[in-house]
Amino acid sequence: MNDSLVPRQSSPNLSSTGAPAAERYDFFGVVQGYLREAAALVEMPAETLAILSQPKQEIIIHFPVRLDDGTVSMFKGYRIQHNNILGPYKGGLRYHAAVTLDDCKALASMMTWKCALMNLPLGGGKGGIKFDPRKFSQNELERITRRFIHALGSNIGPWHDIPAPDVGTNAQTMAWAMDTYVNTVGYLAHTSAKGVVTGKPLASGGTLGRPKATGQGLVHCIRYWAEEKGFALEGATVAIQGYGNVGSYSAALLSKLGVSMIAVGDHGGYLHSPEGFNPHKLHEHVRKNGSVLGYPSGEPITREQFFRIKCDIFVPAALENQIGVAEARALDTKLVAEGANGPCSPDGERILLERGIDILPDVLANSGGVTVSYYEWVQNNRSESWTLEEVDERLEVAMKRAYRKTMEMARQKNTTARIGAYCVALQLLMTVYAERQIWP
């Protein structure tokens, strides 16, 4: 295990900050480790554990795309379909230079746990394309997306596998994906298959409340934690790593509760401002410039300084494996609320817990996104449009239930919140396997 504060990446030679990673992080192995630990606690039958230990399908597609300069470039896309016993595969599409098959397997299996924990009639999937979307024009991104969705063909579908945004993709990506699917899978689907992807723009079949959903769910969890601890959020401070969808909405929603963001960073660099940043202005800057780099207020700091800043709440909202041993020793905070998937390594988590720092685990804390994706899918299937109040109310009820179940389970099994969340998810999955058995 690397013990220094160098940026960690899941690929041996690719880094969003340009620094080489010391070693390959076995993300899928880590998630399988959590699965085995929780499976033992809920006494899951060995055969169910064997089924859940591997994805049902692993799709890899190489496809050509013509770039703006007339040349043709090959791209590598993945779609992992981990489990569909509870419903259609569900999960994001990631565009990032470090996307690998194993990372998609880890992320797809986490979607299975997330949907089960949230009691959604959905399974787990994840996909992505291994490239850096920042280096391509909008026209190129559109052609890459359309070509990949076309190549996936009937491997996705509103009753089979439903992609959504993830790192490097957004509502526009989903509009292109939906449009490609409905235009290529047959006449009947043209008007009835908008639910093939979620996270779409509102006018193209999206739902109110989806853009902020992951941040909103995370902030609900932070509120429940604060209530439980008797901790006053008014006047508290937060540091946020990653200022994309999850980071920026978390900052804006926390600021409404009186929490000020005093440090922030992304692939471009890190900034510190003891008085606090304006989350909206910073979001505007990132939208125009692609990163927090160059934002006029705040003092530039190193990644190492960022992880040492004293704050009440730390929100990792970037990539996996960002809080290893060194970061966990450095963090001066009360709570790590995981907006990203897999931001703490197992060693990092152990150190945080030993130091008395609480963790709101990813499968719980960032599950607001897929929960509101489910609301979008239901609205698409019923040709309905819900009000923002309706979406917000349902999300809050769903988050409260999952938070309560996770913490009760963790207490009952005398384990961490992460393994508690896994146990809740696994109990549902093993009940369904026990009832349905395997076919034939």
Q: Which residues bind ligand GLU (CB under 6 A)?
A: 90-92, 164, 166, 198-199, 341, 366, 369-370, 373
- CA-to-CA separations, 204 to 17, 180, 195, 378, 385, in angstroms, rounded: 35, 13, 10, 15, 12
Q: Which is nearer to ligand GLU, 194 or 285 (CB)?
A: 194
State the catalytic residue, choosing from 90, 105, 114, 126.
126
Q: Which is nearer to ligand GLU, 206 or 298 (CB)?
A: 206
Burial 203-240 (b: 16+ CB within 10 A, else e): eebbbbbbbbbbbbbbbbbbbbbbeeeeeebeebbbbb
Q: Catalytic residue at 76?
A: no
Q: Which is nearer to ligand GLU, 279 or 369 (CB)?
A: 369
Least CB distance from residue 32 to ligand GLU, whole Å?
Answer: 18
Least CB distance from residue 317 to ligand GLU, whole Å?
Answer: 11
Apex 309 CA angle, 328 and 263, nearest 5: 110
Least CB distance from residue 74 to ligand GLU, whole Å?
Answer: 25
Q: Which is nearer to ligand GLU, 77 or 269 (CB)?
A: 77
- Beta strand residue intervals within 242-320, DSSP E: 260-266, 269-272, 299-301, 313-316
Least CB distance from residue 105 to ligand GLU, whole Å?
Answer: 14
| 258/237 Cα distance (integer angstroms) | 9
The token pair at 169 is 């993709």
Pairing of strands 260-266, 237-241: parallel
Apex 290 CA angle, 288 and 295, nearest 5: 70
In contact, 146 and 172? CB cutoff 8 Å: no
Burial 256-268 (b: 16+ CB within 10 A, else e): eeebbbbbbbbbb
Residue 232's contacts (CB-CB under 8 Å, 6 or more residues apart) are: 226
Pairing of strands 260-266, 161-165: unpaired
Q: Which is nearer to ligand GLU, 237 or 248 (CB)?
A: 248
- Residue 270's DSSP bridge partners are 265, 301
DSSP 13: S
Q: Which is nearer to ligand GLU, 65 or 162 (CB)?
A: 162
| 370/295 Cα distance (integer angstroms) | 31
The token pair at 170 is 């957004």
Q: Which is nearer to ligand GLU, 166 or 349 (CB)?
A: 166
In three state form, how does the secondary structure of 24-45 look?
A: CCCHHHHHHHHHHHHHHHCCCC
Q: Which residues are catalytic?
A: 126
